[in-house]
Amino acid sequence: MIDIDYKLNIICPKDGWIIEKMGLQIHKHLRGSTLYYANHPNLYREGGPLDQEGTINYYLTYILFKGKRRALDAAWFTHIEEDPHNKHIADYFIKAARSVDLAIFNAPKYENQCKEFTKRSATIIPGVDEKFKLKLNLGIVGREYDYTSRKNPELAIKLAAIDWLNIEYTKGEIPEEKLPEFYNRQDYTLVLSKVEGGPMCVLESLAMGKEVIFPRGVGFGEMFYEGLHMYEKDDSDSLSLLLGRLYLQKMRTREIVEGYTWKSFAEAHHQMFYDLIS
């Protein structure tokens, strides 16, 4: 959290969508800012809270900008409408970008399009909520049997202790017509069995474009090397090593957006606001 030493009004809609969240996150991280919802009574009146010298008014989005005031004006610019029926909105995008003291864009392509006539501009990418945690999603298909341990439930118990795994079981309770939905929810289908004739889930999973994590030397797995990730049968260390490699593959994708947090989003705004007020 940053304690700001300038006056900042954040104006956004109260609609429960991403633009409101952006306003709330900036307000949360920049202590001393004031948040106004666009439906606030008398918000735009002359001499009102948005009409004060030495203040920055930040409009999320540019549609809420109603013309220059005594304050410094900044606005968030999403995209330029391309539908001919919305030409008036596209025109206002350009008009607002020309008018405000600071234009902040969601994408560099629009900043570049407006660069020649904006007074000051930046592209700032929103943050990703912490609730979006990376998991490796595995599906185990089939039933367990009381008379045999060939499905290897002991190995499943060991996997349950790994917090970055999300394992879903059919337990023979998902109707056949719902199985495609089950496969589609998974990153991989996981087979733990020590003994199998098949199993059918290998065929079904590959038919869905889903690769299979499979114990070496079991069933007909050797026929499908291209779509299978092999580990040593009934070997928890071998399986854990394989799962770790597959998890790291997903982690590399996550790393693309690792730096996009709501904290960094607010800090980037603060830097632009500070430069503007200075």
pLDDT at residue 44 in the model: 78
pTM, two decimals, is: 0.86
**pLDDT tier at 146 (50, 70, 90 boundaries)?**
low
User: pLDDT class for 145, splitting at 50, 70, 90?
Assistant: low
Helices (H), the chain: 18-29, 87-99, 108-114, 153-159, 179-184, 200-207, 236-254, 262-277
Residue 190 — very low, low, confident or very high, per pLDDT cuts 50/70/90? Answer: very high
- Tokens describing residue 134: 């990376």
- Whether 31 has a pLDDT exceeding 90, the answer reads yes
Residue 89 near residue 81 (C-beta atoms within 8 A): yes
**Residue 148 CB neighbours (<10 A):** 9
pLDDT, tens digit, 9 for 90 and up, residues 66-104 = 988 889 999 999 999 999 999 999 999 999 999 999 999
